[in-house]
């Protein structure tokens, strides 16, 4: 089987062939006039009318049988078969071009009429073809799909192409979010945008991510929660408000936690935890019915039924570990947990009948916590006292606290109506409704540790080539080499260096050179140099060139003027430099002799 680099090299040759024929392999405009889904749905009328239409998409398979070629296109809406028949109606030249340069993975368009094959397959008979985007790397199917799970997450675009289940999962995620938004808006809520650079990491108890703003010379925090901003809007008279956005918590990663995740947070003035429970129950039934057409769905082998009234239980008197390991996993059907100890949240109101408890609830389904909500504290004096308690915890070394926010206290002192707050973990909800057990499977681009470079990565090398077919003095040869390497280094930049300096034993700096070898070889003629340069460019190598005009004057405008007056065959190349993977560079320059 050909290596990935060999396949890429072959496809680059095909790309260059298209260019040589005057064909733009990446045109600006597509002439597609119907999607593959619509073509399939409207096939009967299209085939009867004999109307010519233009389909476009990615080639997913090619089946050549002598003078005919079948191939399948996919455009994101559906899949459709196309047929090319040599000389009827497509020209023999276009048929030959398809066979020579089109590959699986290429984007193309085909114009033609529609018919049913003998196997009753809907097909377009192509009479014109056009390349839309030449793919240089093969599709995952060529390599039996993406086997490495982390590689699937890193290259999600390939994961979506090769795995229909993954594609459908993220389409379903979009629908879930749309249904939630629809329900909130229909209930009179206003959606808002809130700052992602915050002077305090407030609104929850979690470790934040910190960043620095240079112009203001101050640190900011990425949001761990947005509820304090939402409650300030409640103070301002916006009675129903919500935000769906990213949250960032600098904590552990596991199958239900990702450092960057999506939350919905909302506030409802003149409501409380009981009112929010009723709202959440209606919301979840609306989303599930809209997604499945019924109130039942399967998760981990259990049928979850949202038809009955959700059960309400008191939070158990047990350790957090006992709760997570023995109690919560058994809550399969929708269950509201209520009556949490006051220490669990510094922003929830205490229950009037028992001040040791807060008026808070969580919704658990399938053993997963999905919603956290409570009657919001609106007493600024009580809030300040709770902040002081949080500050004392921090002084004792507890960093899992919510810091005092004096601006929020000030807003509360202008008067805040009673209100209920809700937080919904969108990612976990999508996990539940798509039957997924790993949060990375429902986040398009999850947080991953950088991929370690393998020691087997091919070395890069440079070869500077002198034209020995013309007489040059020694200083001209050295000048040519110097300019070629300087030009190459300037274009490639600092990525050529392992690091800027190294230290001596007595702590003195020595400036490092580039980390790649540079060899000097000789070519016998200008023609030989041009051939090496052409082959190097076709293999996507880096190239520098040095001509007679460049050594005779340092005035670049004059060099440009003289060069413009010549054809390429008239330009006298004193040298060239090629840089890239050692195996390719060595192959291209194997017939050149070493400079001595």
- Range picked from 357-371, 380-394, 467-481 for highest mean pLDDT: 357-371
Which of 382, 413, 442 corresponds to the end of one domain? 442
Predicted TM-score (pTM) of the model is: 0.73
Residues 213 and 351 in one domain: yes
Residue pair 306/330 in contact by the 8 Å Cβ criterion: no
Query: Is 12 a member of any domain?
Result: yes
Residues 419, 493: one domain? no
Quote the pLDDT of residue 402. 78
* pLDDT recorded at residue 501: 79
* CA-based nearest residue to 373, from 312, 423, 313: 423
- Please state whether beta strands 350-351 and 354-365 pair in parallel, antiparallel, or not at all (unpaired): antiparallel
- For residue 452, the model assigns a pLDDT of 64
> What pLDDT is recorded for position 457?
57
The tokens for 453 are: 């470079």
114 CB-contact burial (10 Å; exposed 0-12 / middle 13-18 / buried 19+) = buried
The closest alpha carbon to 578, from 527, 524, 531, belongs to: 531
- Alpha-helical (H) ranges within 435-540 are 474-492, 526-538
Token pair of 386 as six digits: 């709770």
Checking if the pLDDT of 75 tops 50, the result is: yes
* Backbone Cα Rg of the chain: 33
CATH code, domain with 295: 3.30.930.10
Residue 452 lies inside a defined structural domain of this protein: no
Answer yes or no: is pLDDT of 142 > 50: no
Across 136-150, 312-326, 372-386, least confident range: 136-150
Work out the average pLDDT over 242-249. 96
Same-domain status, 127 and 72: yes
What confidence score (pLDDT) does residue 492 get? 86
| Three-state SS at 516 | coil
| Claim to verify: residue 404 and residue 268 sit in the same structural domain | yes
Distance (Å, whole) CA 67 – CA 439: 49
> For 406-457, how does the pLDDT look when each residue is reduced to its tens digit (9 = 90+)?
999 999 999 999 999 999 999 999 999 999 999 999 999 999 988 765 545 5
CATH code for position 108? 2.40.50.140
pLDDT at 125 over 60: yes
In a domain, 254, yes or no: yes
Q: Which domain holds residue 207?
A: 164-442
Looking at the DSSP bridge assignments, the partners of residue 593 are 522
Q: Give 499-545 pLDDT, tens digit per residue.
A: 777 888 887 888 888 888 899 999 999 999 999 999 999 888 999 99
Are both 425 and 345 inside the same structural domain? yes
Asked if the peptide bond before residue 321 counts as cis, ω within 30 degrees of 0, the response is no
At residue 584, the pLDDT reads 92
* 469 inside domain: yes
Tens digit of pLDDT for each residue in 149-192?
788 899 999 999 888 899 999 999 999 999 999 999 999 999 99
Q: Provide the number of structural domains found in the chain.
A: 3
**Other Cβ atoms closer than 10 A to 24:** 11
Residue 158 lies in a domain: no
Alpha carbons within 13 A on the beta-carbon side of 415: 2
The residue from 414, 442, 470 where one domain ends is 442
Q: What percentage of the chain carries pLDDT values higher than 90?
A: 77
Q: Identify the top-confidence range among 93-107, 436-450, 453-467.
A: 93-107
- Tokens (6 digits) for 571: 């330009």
Residue 119, helix vs strand vs coil: coil
With cut-offs at 50, 70 and 90, classify the pLDDT of residue 52: very high
Position 453 scores a pLDDT of 55
**Residues 372 and 521 reside in one and the same domain:** no
Mean pLDDT of the region 313-337: 95
Give residue 143's pLDDT: 42
């Amino acid at each position: 089987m050909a290596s990935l680099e060999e396949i890429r090299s072959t496809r680059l040759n095909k790309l260059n062939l298209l260019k040589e024929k005057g064909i733009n392999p990446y045109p600006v405009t597509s002439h597609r006039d119907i999607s593959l889904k619509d073509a399939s749905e409207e096939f009967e009328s299209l085939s009867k009318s004999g109307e010519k239409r233009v389909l476009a998409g990615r080639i997913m398979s090619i089946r050549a049988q002598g003078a005919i070629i079948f191939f399948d296109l996919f455009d994101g809406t559906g899949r459709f078969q196309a047929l090319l028949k040599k000389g009827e109606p497509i020209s023999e030249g276009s048929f030959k071009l398809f066979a020579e340069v089109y590959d699986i993975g290429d984007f193309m368009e085909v114009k033609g009429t529609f018919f049913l094959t003998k196997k009753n397959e809907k097909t377009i008979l192509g009479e014109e073809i056009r390349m839309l985007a030449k793919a240089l790397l093969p599709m995952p199917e060529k390599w039996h799909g993406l086997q490495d799970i982390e590689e699937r997450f890193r290259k999600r675009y390939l994961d979506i192409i090769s795995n229909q289940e993954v594609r459908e999962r993220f389409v379903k995620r979009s629908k879930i979010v749309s249904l939630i938004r629809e329900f909130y808006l229909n209930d009179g809520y206003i959606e808002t945008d809130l700052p992602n650079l915050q002077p305090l990491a407030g609104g929850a108890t979690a470790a934040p991510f910190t960043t620095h703003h240079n112009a203001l010379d101050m640190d900011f925090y990425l949001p761990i929660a947005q509820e304090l901003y939402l409650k300030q809007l409640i103070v301002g008279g916006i009675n129903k408000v919500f935000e769906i956005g990213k949250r960032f918590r600098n904590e552990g990663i596991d199958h239900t936690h990702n450092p960057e995740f999506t939350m919905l947070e909302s506030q409802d003035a003149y409501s409380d935890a009981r009112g929010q429970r009723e709202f959440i129950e209606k919301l979840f039934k609306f989303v599930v019915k809209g997604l499945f057409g019924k109130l039942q769905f399967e998760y981990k082998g259990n049928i979850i039924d949202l038809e009955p009234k959700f059960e309400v239980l008191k939070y158990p008197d047990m350790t957090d570990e006992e709760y997570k390991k023995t109690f919560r996993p058994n809550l399969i059907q929708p269950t509201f947990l209520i009556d949490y100890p006051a220490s669990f949240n510094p922003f929830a109101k205490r229950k009037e009948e028992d001040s040791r408890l807060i008026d808070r609830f969580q919704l658990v389904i399938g053993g997963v916590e999905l919603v956290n909500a409570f009657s919001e504290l609106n007493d600024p004096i009580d809030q300040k006292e709770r902040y002081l308690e949080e500050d004392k915890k921090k002084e004792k070394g507890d960093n899992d606290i919510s810091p005092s926010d004096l601006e929020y206290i000030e807003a509360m002192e202008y008067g805040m109506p009673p209100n209920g707050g809700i937080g919904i973990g969108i990612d976990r909800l999508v996990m539940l409704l798509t039957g997924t057990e790993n949060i990375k499977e429902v986040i398009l681009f999850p947080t991953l540790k950088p991929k370690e470079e393998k020691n087997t990565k091919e070395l890069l090398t440079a070869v500077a080539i002198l034209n020995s077919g013309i007489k040059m003095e020694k200083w001209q040869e050295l000048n040519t080499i110097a300019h070629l390497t300087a030009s190459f280094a300037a274009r490639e930049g600092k990525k050529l260096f392992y690091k800027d300096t190294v230290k001596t034993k007595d702590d003195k700096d020595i400036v490092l050179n580039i980390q790649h070898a540079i060899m000097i070889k000789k070519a016998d003629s200008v023609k030989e140099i041009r051939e090496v340069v052409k082959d190097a460019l076709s293999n996507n190598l880096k190239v520098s060139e040095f001509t007679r005009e460049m050594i005779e004057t340092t005035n670049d405008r004059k060099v440009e003027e003289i060069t413009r007056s010549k054809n390429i065959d008239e330009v006298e190349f004193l040298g060239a430099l090629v840089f890239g993977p050692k195996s390719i560079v060595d192959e291209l320059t194997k017939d050149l002799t070493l400079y001595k």
